[in-house]
Chain A
Amino acid sequence: MMAQVLSVLVWALLLSGAFFLVTGALGMVRLPDVFTRMHAAGMADTMGAGLILVGLCVHSGVNLVTLRLLLVLAFLWFTSPIATHALAKAALSGGAEPYTLAGGDEGERGTEAEGGGMS
């Protein structure tokens, strides 16, 4: 009984983590500029990696493997915002133009953003 509950929990964690990872990667392709893509990458870094690693922790039980998984997770969550911040700052000072909604009517918005992302 206990084993089945754990197995279902591991499945749920791994699948939801994979969902966030694929969604983040999809956002990397779809979103219009580098700053908005950072949010999608941040999604894959935080919840995507986090849920998968926590799922692996639950699967392995409490032992030294769990400690290493938690170390990897702590390291990812500590360094990912630093790298993202460095990237954003470098992009701003390097002259990348942040995408903003071109002042227009509502109907244009979606298609315009999408077109920018796919080009």
Chain B
Amino acid sequence: MFAVTAAALLVAMCLAMCRALLGPTAYDRVLALNNIGTMTVVLIAVLGFLNGRPDFLDLALAYALINFIGTIAVLKYIEYGDLGTSGGPRRRNASRR
């Protein structure tokens, strides 16, 4: 049954990857990649059970962490054009494609 779940996860990841490739805006791509990251976390957990080695769950947690921080960083870069700022004026009309 874990194999079925893993197969469904892979199908869903392919669909999300279509959206990441199609775009059309940068936000679509970020959204699709964040979603693929979430599915990767679940896939790591399922694969751990499939192989009978649930130790991989630490990796899933670490991956979820990096996925979250990466998404926030990309969005901050798109929105402000600067990773180090603490706020202030936003860059209007950031690149959309």
Contacts and interface: CB of A to CB of B under 8 A. Distances in A.
Interface residues of A, number: 47
B15 A28 contact: yes
A38 B31 CA distance: 7
Nearest to B63: A72
Q: How large is the interface on B (under 10, 10 to 19, 20 to 34, 35 or more residues)?
A: 35 or more
A80 B64 CA distance: 10
Contact of B1 (A14, A69, A96): A14
Contact of A25 (B16, B46, B58, B60): B16
B90 A24 contact: no
A83 B25 contact: no
Contacts of B78: 90, 94
A56 B12 contact: no
A53 to B, nearest CB: 6
Contact of A56 (B28, B45, B65, B71): B45
Interface string B6-49: 00110111011011000001111011101100110110011001
A75 B32 CA distance: 19
Contacts of A17: 5
